[in-house]
Structure 1
Amino acid sequence: MKPPRSVENELILGLVSVSDRASRGVYEDQGIPALEAWCRRAITTPIKIHKRLIPDERFDIEKTLRELVDIIGCDLILTTGGTGPARRDVTPEATLAVATREMPGFGEQMRAISGHFVPTAILSRQVGVLRETPDHAALILNLPGQPKAIAETLEGLRDEAGRPVVNGIFAAVPYCIDLIGGPYIETDESVVKAFRPKSARRKSEKEAQPQETAPAAPQPETKPAPTPAAAPQREPVPAEETPREARPEVESVEKKAPAPRPEVKREAPRAPAFAPEDILVTGPRTGGTPELTVVWLHGMGVDNTDFAAFPDEIRQFNGPVCRFVLPNAPMREMSMHPDYPLRAWYDVPGRRIDENEDELGIRETSRRVAALIDEIAAEGVPRSRIVLGGFSQGSAISLFTGLRMKEPIGGVAALSGYLPLAGRLFSEATPAGRRTPIFMAHGDFDSVVPPVIAARSAEVIAQVDSDLIARTYPMDHELCREEMHDLAAFLRSVADRAER
């Protein structure tokens, strides 16, 4: 996704403090205030900051980092805490788990700086990584836990005359953000001087126009952002647009007028619900024979890689071995952000998600998802072992489609979503849909899909489907451990029912 910036060239910054005791309120967190104070002092570019205080739980750290990059659209994320050798220190492992590429120089330089003060710097396991999606990329850096060490690591060391002795890591951050397609970050040189090759430097503010009219940061040539024009290539090919390679054979038959051939009479094969390049199939790294096939739909603004690790996470919570089939939503311009095309299953034209709904888009996506399930069943997977599910917008499509299936499936799992076109359900729910087990999970503090809308959806569904399980959790638009435990248990129940 292209991050929706409030002003041109704005840096979207994520600050994450990892601490068991601070997250429980045992003592006041010092990491985020220290990070924010330093960043506001050093960075002169406009900043929008998103803060997260979380416990030393690998699952929570991974989900937070994915949310900040894939949903919020952060360009840079700075974490503090959880980087030592203690067993609860798992920040580096979680960071590497969500990374697409490691940037080892950052960790090496951080340990070099700390080594000037304490010999225990060699015990630090801080890492720097990139997390990249097809449309966006972010730099993630693990920093020390103490405020003084945070400033030293970012700024570096100076002699008595104020000359740099050891460069801080932030000197390289702005150019790194340039190279991955982010905003052009400028700094207060009295705090830290951003280094760029001469060819990558812009004129100073005194020589250039005001920042609001400054040209956009150059995009790296090696990774051009997808454009809306690519989206139509991902749509199903209509039957009348049969590939031309099939036509000459038919024409030659008509000229020679031989006896009719069976292959000429056959209809053109139906286009697949999703193009092969738009499908990601994944399973647990530990292997095993799949007990279920789960068609999982991602949320708005991300892509199918967002849940690539879900099979492993399901297993961690004692769920069944699942083969996940992850389709990609098409790129589209949304009414809410017309200048920022992103992946979405349908448009949201109203001020609220359940207002002035995109009925055409919802129904078209539902048709494609149902066709994908039919294709999986045609491959030999029993429908009782197929589960449809998703997160946010993907959850909404899963509920809409699952309740209208012509033939039953094993179940529907809907996380942080709602039921679109809820008023049509009573007349459109099929007999198969009415007896499909459904698991709905939602956050009590969801800031994207209001809890009241999710609760109304559950009330409507409960009137047509007695196999509904609806749970809420003390969280925002995200996942939590209790929810994952309940989801894994639901999937286990579907697998056990299919076995009987």
Structure 2
Amino acid sequence: MPYVEHNPSSTPNACVIWLHGLGDSGHGFAPIVPELKLPDSMSVKFIFPHAPERPVTINGGMRMRAWYDIKSLDFNSRADLSGVLESAAHVETLIQEQVDKGIPTDRIVLAGFSQGGVIALHLAPRFKHKLAGVMALSTYMCEPSLLAQEATDVNRDIPIMMAHGEQDEVVPIFMGNAAYKTLTENGFNATWQTYTMQHNVCMQEISDISAWLKKVLG
């Protein structure tokens, strides 16, 4: 999987894998790294993968970067499970690449915005190795009814930061909150924060992400 890589000045000992939203690319969130103002001493590498290009049904079959197809805007069937599973497998491979380079899984944060967050929330609860944490921004959950039977205990205690815009018209806030409730009902350590914004990120959220990363990886 191709990606944009942002390396610290010293040898990295931690990594954030950040998955973009529909129609974007790894370049979309790469400029956020300097805005986070993480100290060099943290030695955090950032990886921003590019989703593959595929036809997206709700956009008239137009090809664009997407982690999965969206066949309907219906709450229960928005995310195509087969595409989610395929992308989650690609991200697992990317995680393994970082492990092979000397960064253990418990020093890896899985982050995602919108579609990317769907992949993060699907993979992390089912992942067989402990992660450092999960950051799920302006997103929702694919097939939440499957979580109870498919979740493993490995990552039940890791911090999961969920954040959403109160005026989000792309992924309505109730979808994000439903994902948060599903996680907590299944014993996951999720937190929920809202911001006065639409389907984007804001400066206060960036500041909160920075503080969270310092706590999780510092």
TM-score bracket, shorter-length normalisation: over 0.9
Q: Deviations over 1:74-94 (max 9, x none)?
A: xxxxxxxxxxxxxxxxxxxxx
Report how far residue 316 of structure 1 moved.
6.5
Report how far residue 289 of structure 1 moved.
4.7
The answer to whether structure 1 residue 290 and structure 2 residue 6 are counterparts is: no
Residue 382 of structure 1: aligned partner: 104
The answer to whether structure 1 residue 280 and structure 2 residue 4 are counterparts is: yes
The answer to whether structure 1 residue 354 and structure 2 residue 76 are counterparts is: yes
Report how far residue 482 of structure 1 moved.
1.5
Q: From the superposition, tell whether residues 306 and 319 of structure 1 become closer, same or farther in structure 2 (CA, over 3 Å).
A: farther
- Aligned mates of 1:366, 1:380 — CA distance in 2: 21
| SS of corresponding position for 1:493 | helix
CA contact (8 A) 2:125 2:151 kept: yes
Residue 344 of structure 1: aligned partner: 66
Residue 126 of structure 2: aligned partner: 404
- Aligned mates of 1:332, 1:353 — CA distance in 2: 22
| SS of corresponding position for 2:142 | coil
Report how far residue 369 of structure 1 moved.
0.8
Query: Which of 424, 434, 444 is the equivalent residue of 2:166?
Result: 444
Query: Which of 427, 446, 454 is the equivalent residue of 2:149?
Result: 427
Q: From the superposition, tell whether residues 486 and 279 of structure 1 become closer, same or farther in structure 2 (CA, over 3 Å).
A: same
- Aligned mates of 1:371, 1:410 — CA distance in 2: 17
CA contact (8 A) 2:38 2:214 kept: no
- Aligned mates of 2:43, 2:135 — CA distance in 1: 16
- Aligned mates of 1:354, 1:288 — CA distance in 2: 45
Q: Deviations over 1:375-427 (max 9, x none)?
A: 21122112221111011111111111111110111011111111111110111
How do 1:260-275 residues align onto structure 2 when only pairs under 5 Å count?
274=1
- Aligned mates of 1:357, 1:306 — CA distance in 2: 21
- Aligned mates of 1:309, 1:488 — CA distance in 2: 14
Q: From the superposition, tell whether residues 362 and 327 of structure 1 become closer, same or farther in structure 2 (CA, over 3 Å).
A: same
- Aligned mates of 1:326, 1:402 — CA distance in 2: 17
Report how far residue 357 of structure 1 moved.
3.6
Residue 460 of structure 1: aligned partner: 182
Report how far residue 436 of structure 1 moved.
2.4
Q: Deviations over 1:278-300 (max 9, x none)?
A: 1221136xx34535201111111
**Relative CO higher for 1 or 2, CA cutoff 8 Å, sep ≥ 6?**
2
Larger radius of gyration: 1
Q: From the superposition, tell whether residues 318 and 279 of structure 1 become closer, same or farther in structure 2 (CA, over 3 Å).
A: closer
Q: From the superposition, tell whether residues 318 and 381 of structure 1 become closer, same or farther in structure 2 (CA, over 3 Å).
A: closer
- Aligned mates of 1:479, 1:356 — CA distance in 2: 22
Q: From the superposition, tell whether residues 463 and 318 of structure 1 become closer, same or farther in structure 2 (CA, over 3 Å).
A: farther
Report how far residue 374 of structure 1 moved.
1.7
Amino acid aligned to 1:281: E
Residue 203 of structure 2: aligned partner: 481
Report how far residue 370 of structure 1 moved.
1.4
How do 1:323-334 residues align onto structure 2 when only pairs under 5 Å count?
323-334=45-56
Residue 170 of structure 1: aligned partner: none
Q: Which consecutive residues of structure 1, in runs of 5 or more, have no partner in the other structure?
A: 1-273
Give the TM-score taking structure 1 as reference length. 0.42
Amino acid aligned to 2:154: A
Q: From the superposition, tell whether residues 465 and 491 of structure 1 become closer, same or farther in structure 2 (CA, over 3 Å).
A: farther
Amino acid aligned to 1:330: P
Question: Sequence identity of aligned pairs in percent?
Answer: 34
CA contact (8 A) 2:68 2:79 kept: no
Q: Which has the higher strand share?
A: 2
Amino acid aligned to 1:383: T
- Aligned mates of 1:483, 1:412 — CA distance in 2: 15
- Aligned mates of 2:138, 2:38 — CA distance in 1: 21
Q: From the superposition, tell whether residues 466 and 359 of structure 1 become closer, same or farther in structure 2 (CA, over 3 Å).
A: closer
How do 1:94-105 residues align onto structure 2 when only pairs under 5 Å count?
none
Which region of structure 1 is more displaced relative to structure 2, 397-406 or 465-474?
465-474
Amino acid aligned to 2:44: C
User: Over aligned residue pairs, what C-alpha RMSD do you find?
Assistant: 2.0
Amino acid aligned to 2:104: P
Q: Which consecutive residues of structure 2, in runs of 5 or more, have no partner in the other structure?
A: none
Report how far residue 466 of structure 1 moved.
4.1
